């Protein structure tokens, strides 16, 4: 299995979250409200600037109406 470093993982995760959000025609503000995640923090996640905990990823996946496992499989 190929090793994925933390920075590359964060970038891929952020790209995936943004792609899924845009596919659902949600603004970052709307997803933040639905998921209960701070909008600025969500922006940092989407830009790959920070690592998100499993709890935050669960909240985001719920806001996107997908299973957390499906979100992670998209990466």
Residue 60 CA to residue 58 CA, distance in Å, equals 5
pTM beyond 0.95, yes or no: no
> pLDDT tens for residues 15-25?
999 999 999 99
Q: Which domains does the chain have, with CATH numbers?
A: 6-73 (1.10.260.40)
Query: Is 21 buried (19+), middle (13-18) or exposed (0-12) by CB count in 10 A?
Result: buried
- 68 by Cβ neighbours in 10 Å (0-12 / 13-18 / 19+) ranks as middle
Token digits for 47? 């830009």
Q: What is the mean pLDDT of each run of 10 residues along the chain (75 residues)?
A: 78 97 98 98 97 97 97 91
């Amino acid at each position: 299995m190929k090793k994925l470093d933390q920075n590359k993982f964060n970038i891929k995760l952020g790209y995936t979250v943004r792609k899924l959000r845009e596919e659902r025609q949600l603004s970052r503000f709307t997803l933040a409200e639905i998921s209960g995640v701070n909008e600025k923090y969500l922006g940092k996640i989407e830009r790959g600037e920070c690592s998100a905990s499993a709890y935050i990823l669960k909240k985001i996946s719920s806001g996107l109406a997908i299973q957390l496992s499906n979100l992670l499989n998209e990466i």
